[in-house]
Structure 1
């Protein structure tokens, strides 16, 4: 990973990027993808442009607000010796009010499974062998994770590998509320849970069950605190972030209804001047597609930890400890 090739589906100051990375990186524009490469998600087009051009096996995919340090990159390299895709953990620094608010989401995700960071790392050979991933979905990181798993690859979820992320502007944060809720359409159980929040709160308020509301909020705070304490998270997550998790959950409940409304009434959510209908492909559909288009794809139980067979191997990760593996 000594050579990087930044790619981005959004407009940027190309001369500034070239100046910063002169001598260490090649700069490619996803706005000018290779012939035949089409899609509505500019981030994915950037990845599909950059990964084939990379000269190393270990490739880091990251949003432009992600800030790796040397320790993080070294840990990713170690993990890619044993896994096909690495899923680190982002944290916001600095922590303005809206990043504080959004950290509630991160903590709840960590408590019930794993968060979806703004960066992943993948083995180039596996990425090319499986044919990349769909550039016409909104939730591109989930799409890539599911595609690697459907191919039969191993995903290392490194809950203790913390990579700094700069917070968005307040305006950008506000503009993302419904779009991020739209991601839940790719995870039906989470979507149902989010849609039940608003009716549940309304019913409790109507019945004047303030004690029930308080108990539920306390349970959400406790769950978020569990996520904060997981894998040494107290080193990077402020103690007060767990307390705002109920507010984030209420926001997600409202925005999930708005997201469903956009899917039904407008045919998708607005994204970069267009609309994306699909949040991500179902895992079953990806397995069928790969079976048809990639007949040599690795399959679960065929010498690789696959999509339906959890791996229990322990990876050599720097402190605070080894990550869990989800395959």
Structure 2
């Protein structure tokens, strides 16, 4: 399976206004990412302190000539020591994503993403999250879930918006370990009432999913706070064998759709996650296809080598059928 593209790609991108298109496609890719996993219900366990998982991210779209290309490495690690937010013991998870290992991805659009999330150790709901994104520009964001008041806040670096000059509570700076300069640049951008809604961020959703009993046919409803608004999702669980990139084992396939909050109608776009069907409940693979291209993530940690692959992924097969008439 090809996982690179020709050496003339940078020259081709320089023509025909590709650069702006690449930017929007990669931003869409990151958004899809902000968003990753027998009929007997299997219970899993809470996040494991010290767990570290590494993934390879692949992309297929116009800018890659509709062949799959490795674009980034992603590491998701649960810190060895428990943190604290006010009086709450918290599980701290770090997610790092970088295009640095892949020269062609770096030439097209270099990305450095660090996302750090504090999760209530008892209730498994989010407390704080800090996001640092560096592309052509740098941006810092902070999410604060004030469960006592039923409010979720989004702060970001940038220009002061009209009518808003609020900064995060000062006590959060010591928890997040942000520098004084970073802290002073954070200004409130959005505030959303979560009331009785159990709004999650994407890391807390993944931990929650890994810790709950799953069975084929199970449906789950949940909401996330993306920094601007609440998004509702419908999740359907099935069981199937994952045969991909060396993995060959039974798994839960978790399919997610965003749901319109007013009509209750689910959207056409979906994200698929494959979770191991044991009590580890590892996120083995995730996959999403959009108008700008398709992204796939494969767990490298513990991945069998030399195993038989199913061949082309859905992304490549779709391209062959659409553009080559296979």
TM above 0.5, one fold? no
Write 1 or 2 for the structure with the bigger share of helix.
1
Bin the TM-score by the shorter chain.
under 0.3
